[in-house]
Structures are given as C-alpha cells and as structure tokens.
Structure 1
C-alpha cells in the first residue's frame, strides 16, 4: 500500500512524474475534469445566488470509484493538477468527491493537499510534493464564475438563435466578440476604395558601387504623386540635373531582445514562422510540458505553457547566462540578468515559457522528438536564451541626395554587433551603402517610376487575431485556442489562405446580437468582465456580484429580443463554383457535418460537393481496389462516408454492394496468430477483430497494443479521450487487470510524425 496518492489530470503527466517519486507514492490520472454543469439543463440556480449544480461527467463514474478506493487506502491524497484556474478547479472537484463533501461545503478546506509545479522535472516534482498548500478557493471561484457566465450567455442565447435564425446554432460570450472583430474587419475590407499613387526610385552609382534611393520631397514638401501625369512632370524636371549628397546621417541604435514566450506570443510566433495553427501549437506544447521519453525516463522539457507572465526564475536566468558566456563569449552576456516588466494583471507566480534546462539544446533533443515537436522546441529554446543575451547594435545610415527641386533618400542598416541576433535572427536583410562623403556627386543609373494602389486592411490571421484579443484584454492564456476553434467549427467564420472571413451565417448572427445584446459584443465590457474574474481570483471581488451584474441587464434584453425579433431568412452564400449539371453558381450550405456546396436548383438539380475547411472543393479521386464485387464482377472502388473509407461497387445504383475496409494494425491475434484488423459496425462504431473471422472470433472494442495482460493473456488496449490523453489497460471485464491505468505499451504500428 502506498503512503501517498497523487492525482493529476493527464495519464502522460502521471507516467512522467511517477518515475520521480519513490515507492511511497502512487500516481493516478483523473483524465481531465470529473464534474461539470449538466448539458441537458442550465445547471445554475439563479434564485439561490447562482448556486451551481454539478454532476459527474459521463463515463467518469468507474474512474472516480477507483480513485476513491485508492484514496481510502492512502494516508494522504495530493492533488497535482496544472498550475492555473482549470487545474485548481479539477483539484477542488476531486477533493469534494473523494472526501464525500456536498457542493460548497468542505470542513477540511485548510488541508495542505494541493501540489503545484511549473515544470515536470525530478527536482521540481520532488520539491513540490514536500511543500503542499491548501486549495485556493478564490482561484476555484474564478474558474466557476467564468463557467457560469459562459453557460448563462450560451444557454439563454442559443434557443433564441434556433427560433429566429436556424436550429442548432449557439452563441458564446467571448467567441461572439471575436466574430464581431472579424465581421468589422471584413466590412473595412469590403468598403475600402483603392486610391492610385506613384513612387519613384533611382539606381545610383558611387565608385562602381550600386545603391538605391527613393524620392522623398518635391519643392521641400513630401512627395505625393497622385497620377501618371504628375509623375511625368517630375521626370521631365529631373532631365539633365546633377545628383549631390547634401546630408550624411549616421546613428547608432541598440536592439533589445524580446522576453521569453507567453502563451499569446508563442501562438503568434509559431503561426508566423512555422505555419502552425493555435490548436496545433498548444497540442505540441502540452506534449513537451507533460514529458518526452529520453532513454528510459520521461521528462518535461518546457515549463507550463498557459501563462501570461514574462518572469524567469533566477536559477534559469543564471543557467542561460552561463550557457551564453561559454558558447558565444562573455561579450554576448549582459552585465546584469535581464528582467522584463510585467504588463497589466498577470499571474506572476507563473513563469514565461522556457526550456526546463538550457543544456537540452534543440540539436541534442532532436532524436527524441517528432519534427513538429522539434521545430516548436527550437523556437522556445532560442527565444528564451536570446532573451538573456546582450543587445544587438546597428548603425543606421541616411544619405539625402539633392536633384534640382527633388530630394532622394537612401537608407542603409549595418549590424555592428549581433548580440542576441547571433542566435535569434531577424528576417530583415542588411542594406549596406557605399561610403560617401557630404558634398560628393553620385551618378544616376536609372529612374524607376511605379504605379501603386492603396491596399485594404489585412484580414485577421491566427497570429494577428490572437494579438488583438490579448491587446484588448479579451480571453486569457487558457482560452485563446478555444475561441478560435469554436468560431470556425460553428460556421461563423471560415479560413481562406490562412486568414479569417465571416460567413453569411456569422454576419447575420453578429448583426442580431449587435442590435439586441450590445453589451455581449462590447469589447470594453468583455475585457472588464475578464478583469472582474481576476479580482475574484485575488479575493477582492464577490463572484456572486459579478454574475448578478451581468445577468440582470442580460435577462431584460433577452426578454425584449424574444418579442421584437422576427424570423430571419438566411441568404445562401454564393460561390464561384459552377454546377456542371445545370450551369448555376453553387451556394454554401451548413449541414450536420459542416459546410458543403449545393446547387440552388434543388430539387430539380441535386448536385452537391464536399469542401475543405477553407471552402475549396475537395476533388474526388476514384481509387480502385483489388477486390472484385461478387454480385456483378466489377472491380470495387474506395469511397469515403461519414464513418470513413469503405468499398463500393462502381455500378451503383444498379449494384448496391458495399464492404468495409479492414485495416491491419500490426498486432497478432493471441488465439490463432492471425492479424488483428480495424473494422466498423453497421452504425460506424470502430472495433478490432481477427482477420480469420468467422473461424476466429477474437474482438476488441479499443485499440489493442502488443503488450499482453499478465493476468489473462489478452492484449492490453489503448484508449484516448477527447483531450488527447491516452490510457493503456485490459478491457476484459472478468480480469483482475481490468483497471484503467497508465502503462507502457509499445504500439504495433509505426508512429508517423506530422509536419
């Protein structure tokens, strides 16, 4: 029997930290949240001071029973969920359940049972379990307040959208503000009227060295050339004139490195430099935080990735400074550790995102990481180390060249000392100018007039939207990804060429909410609510008062809107795709499984096309198989349905024969030695059976791995939950090993790294 039970929220995290603790500790995973508000009803008693009614999340009952059994056997339970509001809430809910407390009541509230660490390393974990604290109820209430605010807004607004716009729609408190920002940006783009203007650049020579200069002034006024006629007048005035350098300006400038990443800056940089979506970046960062297998040990190689702090622990600063001095030279290390100032309300107990050890260089870690993991780790490592390096020094040079009534300017930049840029390079190239003295003449080689038109504002990308949300105070490190993924999945926004654009549905819903619920979409109001939640966390604001201040005006507006709004007819969004059957422009529709293209000539023309996430037509490629249809003798083709790929006869509808595709998983059947294959039932449910069926009737309902259960001899199975957390266990209900626990199981198929 273990003396301590340590509960974390992730199996991967459990596997990593269990190796750092001795035999007196047993580590188990809760597989994320264990309790939540019910999906089928509001779950909040507004009349009873907004009291929440929590229920056990479906599918967590058996797991909680197992946790409770182990908790009774242990002398003490330690809750080691992530160091943020969500982690604090998970710890509190687990404690409430395992100790049998009613909601809101905890006679043992001051118990020192909460363990928190910012990195999953041996030293950090062992230190944390020796310094438990009480659960921070204010942090729990801040999480609960956000959850209730989102539930009140979404649960009340969604039925209104069902009745007035379309069934199945939903609205979110913060997500709706993001949609508004994108709608407003799109309106700016649509309303933009291009204006013509011209520029003039010259190629010059000085002692056979070529350089460029741009027209800056005409008759001592800023050069503003509106059309070709004005440009021709300027070109005529320059005929036969000499070009003399009348001013030489050289300025030394220092460039300071950026601080180590916050969540927001990491999402932006990974999007811009690596092309990763916010969701992809956070998935990879979670993997790097929870543990990477290095030989026989799993260790977290970055600190916690949900943070708005730029603070760095002194020991990490010193390690970085020593590395810089040793590998780049003492001149690259500033005299004092570099400390960045915090901005606004941040959880400064957290650190910025950094490697847990600078000695784990990207090159040394590459063999243990997938390519996407490596690229993100390299970005994090270099950003952190560069943040502790010396300033870069550059020399900016400007030559003013007089030519009649025109003044040209040449600008050049030279790096005189690279400093941090030696590691974290700037994408801008140097522009080196020849050495010219004031008063010298230069030779004109060629003048290059060019016509331009002013450009509309750029549509939001993931990077710029995240930056705007952060700047406006909307959302927090734990919510940026959810905001973006939600507005896309709900069909309010589409991605085109990596930029966001509102759909017709998004515009209609935004207009409706703007008219009747301006506070919900008000940027300042939403940011102020975020500040109120921060005050709840630090204990200076009542959570019930925050909810009451929101819900009172909101419920009044809701009642008025239900009476005033008539049913809204949603216009179809016309595409550029022509229906090959009847020649009409196809339109975008929203179906149960997302957007698709349909012919507006329905029901006379029933042509439909699948589209990708950016709204582009997914071209159908006919993939023939080696399987012969036993009904008509044709070679069957591979089709894709709602449950994945299957075999179908190409002579449909004359022949309607279909077959499932059996996919080998590389694991042998323990009964007959045949291969286990992936199959689908009639309703699409995946299961795994022997290829020798019906002679062998071995079946598994979760993915089998090569590892055999030591108790019953069947294959262990692997199950992944919606959070991407994986558990390996024996699914034989009659086996004593039927306990869902983290285990090392070598999968019987190659893991392919995603780029």
Structure 2
C-alpha cells in the first residue's frame, strides 16, 4: 500500500501534524494560497457571469510542481487547510492543480491540532464544500470589483496610492462620522455636590446630592450649586433608607475572534493584527522542548461560543482540583452563539489542560505567553460559578434634600477569582460602605461642589471599532485585523495613543465616496452583503445572482463618478496671501499630506507653506521654522536642523544649499541590541513611521512602537 499525502497551508502546522501521523503519511505545506486573481488587471469576466480568472501566485510555481509530484505518487490526498472559507478556497485550488478528476482527494476538517482531532478527521474525510468555496469566491470577486475599479478614480482625482474597499471604506466612514459628532458636540455645564460623612463609630464615606423635594435635582451652573449649599447649611443629616441586596454576576462566554481582539486590546494593548498573528502561532504549534511542536489553542477564526463536551469536562476537572467544589457549578455553563454564527467551529480555548500558562512560559515569547494566559483564564472562568456581590444602597436626608450612597462588596468571587472582562470606558469604582442603620444620625465633614461638562462620544479605539463592526454586521471578525491595519497604512486614519482619528485625507476621500457611491458606503447595505455571503455558503443563494444584483447599480455609480467626482488634485483655491519670494498670490492645493499653500507662479516659483484656518474662517500661513539641534554637521561643522521629507524627519545642515549633508533623525533611545547604535526614525514607502538602528545594515533591529520596548 502506497503513502497518503496530507496538505496544509502552513509549515508550522505541517510540522505539528507530522508528529501525529506515521510513516504512511507525507505532510506538505502550500504556504498559503497557491492561486489568486492577477494583480496587474481586474481578472474578472463581467460579461461572462463574473467568471474569475485565477492564476498561480508569483513564486508558487515550484510549490505547485512539488505538490503535483507528491500527489501523483500518493494513494490518497487529504486537504487540511483551515476550516473556514479561506481554507476551503486554498483546498479547492490545490485540488484543481493536483487532482483535476477528484479521484483520490478528500477534505479533512479539525478545529484543533491535537492527535485525536487530526486522526479523527483523517478517519472521516468529507468532500470539498462547493457552497463554502463559492461564498469565498463571491467575497473575493466583490472586493476586487470595488477595489480595482474605484481606487483608480481616487488616483485620478486625489493622488496615486490610495485605495477604496467594500469594507475598509465603511470602517473609515464610521471613524469620520464619530469625529464629526465630536466636532459638533457642544459641552453643557453641570455641577455635582459630594457630601463627606462620618458615622458615630468613626467610619467615613461619601454620598452624592440626588434629589430635592423628591425630584431629581439639576445643578446647571455654579449659582445653582451655591443655592443648594446655602439651604443645606446647618442641616442635620440622617440615614433615611438603607438596603442591601445580593446580586449575581455571570462569567463571560469563551472567546470568539472579535472578543479576543477586543480583550487583547483592552488588557494587553495589542493591535488586532498582532493578536491574530500570535493566536495563529499558538494554534499551529509552538515548540515545547522534548514535546516538539504543540498546538496550544483551538482554531482562532470563529464566531461561535460552542465548546466540546470533552473540553468542558477537562475544564471542570481543573476547576475542581485547583479551586475546589465551591467554584464548580452543578452542570456545565452553556453559551448561545448569535444566529449568524458558523457553529461548526468552537470557541477559542486551550487544547491541552496539562499545559497551563505557567508550565509552558519558558517555551513561549513574552507576548505569546500573555495571550495564552488571557485565553486560558477566560475559558476556565467561563465554566466557573457566578460571583455573589452584596450591593448596598443608602439614602441620606437633610431638610428636603436627598443624598445617595452606594457600595458593593464581593461576598463570593466565583469566576472573578480568575477573570473579569475589560471595559472600553472605565466605570467609576464604588467604595465600600460602612454598616448603616435607618434613622442613624451622621456627622457632616464637608460638602464639595464640583463643576463638570458633558462629554462628547469617545473616539473609536481598535477594541471599540471591532465591537462596532461586529454589531453592525460589517465584514467578518477574521478580516478586522487587516482592515484596521490597511486604513492606517493608507493614512486615512492615524492612531493617537489608543484612539483612532481620521486624517484630512480620510475625511476628503470618505466624503467623495459617500457622494459618488452612497450604497457602497452605506452600513446597512454592507451588512446585507455579508448576509448574502452567508446565504451562498448555506446554499440558499447562487453566487452569480448576488454579483449581478450588486453590479447593476454599482456600475452606474462607477460611470457617473468617472465623469462627475470632484478632481481635488487639479483644484486650486485662491487666497489673499502673497508669496514673499515672487509677490504672486498663493493658492490652496492638495498634496500627499493634505492641503497646503503653493505659489500660483509654479513651476517658476516653488514656494510652499502650511496653513491653518482661523475662527473667522480666514486662511493664516504658518511660517517654516527649522528646529536647530546640538548635532554638528559631519562635513562642515555647522549646526544640523530638523527637516521633513517623504520618508519622515531627518537632520540637514543649516548651511543648505552650500552644504547638503544629512543624517537620520535620532530618537535618543539606545538600540536594545546593545551595539552602541541609537534608534532613528524612518518611514516605509507607504509613509508609515518605524524606528530602526542607526548602525543599519550591520544591525537590522526595527520596531513600529518605541513605547513597547522594555
């Protein structure tokens, strides 16, 4: 009997699987997709039912050749890429290349890379899923139709290098709409009064002024607060009501992809892209010394909260052993997945309970360990008992005024002993109230009035944007990481701390797309397209029908945009600012970094300036002032100044143009490789800032984020 060939998409996954299968199996990796639409052209025959023209990806010809050769001599071929649409497309394209008649090819699916799961899948192979493949193909065709036909219009009207995307552009719109809400927000003043009390037993606590004459009190300004304080002067204070209730808090469900991205952002400060990269490493297999490669978590692209009975039983055994019977509910905690969830998958969970985070820490990178700990804790907590919390509410009366005090104490931690879900907006922490009795007299220590202003809605963070995209039904959780990365790479959005802020370019492009392609930029329309992709996968809709229904209105908008979309690249807005170099008038033009002032006599005069708009709407030119540094020019000895170019900041000689020496811009941070170099600021060709060693190319250290360096 000949050998069987198992094909996966990743070398790491191949290595992990190989140790489970005997000498009768050969395990090979395709290293991702082997075929795709061509990069140089649309690659879709619209007139012929949107037929896609796939071709071998550049550099994959040899991989395909090796797979064909191995497939020819194998008795059976098992295609084992990931169990999702993307994995199905990889499997489908491999089958087309190595076994066109489909005589000996089967599909195998597993949600975790364990010996039991892999062998079970091999023992029960299935046919390739045409519906799932066509759902992926429909998404690919949709995204290509939009991206490859709208982006060139932006190149023509705004600048080259820009991109539009069916989901990406909607994500930018959400961020722009939120920013406009913030800009339009008018803060409203209000005041609060906090009372500081002491009981007869000497215990101190605080309470907030809440009511006057039994009605909610509104203190709209300082005068209102002063009036309340004047009326309260000399008043006796006593406890009017006090009530303690036991409340129960349930553990959160195990992780789906989007919840993992949100929590990793909140608790670990990880980007969605970094979270998915680390999760993939943990899923495909990490070297654990003599154990070899071990897949520590289940498949990381899932929107299901379902968990296998075996995994639940293992978690319950662990809880019983480590925390005791009080922390173990009578039966398993079961979580319902949302309606559209692909419930063939499980939630993200540990695969082996003998490998606790502490046990494997020495084998993992710092960030791998932090993410594994997060996944482990969340899963263990989801099978633990409720937390019991005593919630106390008290009302303190003074004349016709009522103050409210509240406090809580954890009576029994339950799951909270292991995991508490993070929040995008931190809640005000409640203090612990002392024992209070009804009609008890209190000593007033002081009344503290405070001025406040209502706050605009917060800017999106990566965590809150992922949450919004999922709630609105835009895209799939598996695509969120690349979407968030792309909109920053294209300079539509920049990150300010954790906040996502639209750039002027982001606003401009979004407004142009909303005007020309209202359907594409419509949240409900985008969500409806996602539902249609789900229907295609479920066999309820034919993929070409979905493409036809989409393309009719879209092609009409496309033709209109080519003719009518505003050409801001060619636009020149006159101003009353005079060029100090040639006395011509200056105009507002559009460039790589947004609007700027340029001399109208260009190209004879190339003078440019940045500008700002005053409160009266008047354009004010900003004078260029070079930042002088202490660094001396290595050529002439004069001081170096900070300048900006297309690849970021750099140091230039102050005697330019007589001396044209330049140096990289140093951050003052030593290179962590310890080679004596300093980290300098650089930019990628796409304009993204990164930091690398000044000793390059002898030292190749680089990082995106200085703050993350230990």
Q: Give the 3 Å change call, closer, same or farther, for CA 633–157 of structure 1 in structure 2.
A: closer
Aligned counterparts, 1:63-82, within 5 A: 63-82=63-82
Aligned counterparts, 1:231-242, within 5 A: 231-242=225-236
2:253 to 248, 259, 267: 259
| 1:674-697 deviation per Cα after TM superposition (whole angstroms, max 9, x unaligned) | xxxxxxxxx9xxxxxxxxxxxxxx
Quote the residue 1:199 is aligned against. 192
2:265 to 268, 271, 279: 271
Retained in 2: the 8 A contact 1:358–1:381? no
Bigger drift between 64-73 and 136-145 goes to 64-73
TM-score between the two structures when normalised by the length of structure 2? 0.82
Alignment of 1:222 onto 2:224: no
Quote the residue 1:108 is aligned against. 102
Q: Give the 3 Å change call, closer, same or farther, for CA 356–90 of structure 1 in structure 2.
A: same
| 1:212-266 deviation per Cα after TM superposition (whole angstroms, max 9, x unaligned) | 1001101211111000111111000001111111111111110000011101001
Retained in 2: the 8 A contact 1:491–1:590? no
Q: Give the 3 Å change call, closer, same or farther, for CA 642–379 of structure 1 in structure 2.
A: same
Q: Give RMSD over aligned pairs.
A: 3.7
Quote the residue 2:622 is aligned against. none
Aligned counterparts, 1:94-493, within 5 A: 94-99=94-99, 101=100, 107-108=101-102, 113-206=106-199, 207-296=201-290, 297-425=292-420, 431-493=431-493
Q: Give the 3 Å change call, closer, same or farther, for CA 365–648 of structure 1 in structure 2.
A: farther
Q: CA deviation at 1:182?
A: 0.8
Aligned partner of residue 78 in structure 1, secondary structure: strand
Unaligned runs of 5+ in 2: 573-580, 582-587, 611-624, 665-672, 674-684, 686-698, 701-707
| 1:503-536 deviation per Cα after TM superposition (whole angstroms, max 9, x unaligned) | 1221122112212211101111111110110010
Q: CA deviation at 1:440?
A: 0.9
Q: Give the 3 Å change call, closer, same or farther, for CA 203–342 of structure 1 in structure 2.
A: same
Retained in 1: the 8 A contact 2:76–2:105? no
Retained in 2: the 8 A contact 1:372–1:754? no
Aligned partner of residue 520 in structure 2, secondary structure: helix
Aligned partner of residue 316 in structure 1, secondary structure: helix
| 1:149-192 deviation per Cα after TM superposition (whole angstroms, max 9, x unaligned) | 01111122122222222233221011111111111101100001
Count, aligned residues: 636
Q: Give the 3 Å change call, closer, same or farther, for CA 16–754 of structure 1 in structure 2.
A: farther
Q: Give the 3 Å change call, closer, same or farther, for CA 245–271 of structure 1 in structure 2.
A: same
Retained in 2: the 8 A contact 1:5–1:74? yes
Retained in 1: the 8 A contact 2:77–2:105? no
Q: CA deviation at 1:604?
A: 5.5
Q: Matched residues in 2 for 1:624 and 1:71: separation?
A: 65
Bigger drift between 37-46 and 188-197 goes to 37-46
Aligned partner of residue 518 in structure 1, secondary structure: coil
Aligned counterparts, 1:324-723, within 5 A: 324-425=319-420, 431-569=431-569, 591=592
Retained in 1: the 8 A contact 2:569–2:590? no
Q: CA deviation at 1:646?
A: 13
Aligned partner of residue 185 in structure 1, secondary structure: helix
Q: Matched residues in 1 for 2:545 and 2:479: separation?
A: 23
Q: CA deviation at 1:560?
A: 2.4
Q: CA deviation at 1:436?
A: 1.1
Quote the residue 2:670 is aligned against. none
Aligned partner of residue 520 in structure 1, secondary structure: coil
Q: Matched residues in 2 for 1:225 and 1:645: separation?
A: 50
Bigger drift between 364-373 and 499-508 goes to 499-508
Q: Matched residues in 2 for 1:619 and 1:30: separation?
A: 52
Q: Give the 3 Å change call, closer, same or farther, for CA 290–232 of structure 1 in structure 2.
A: same
Retained in 2: the 8 A contact 1:395–1:413? yes
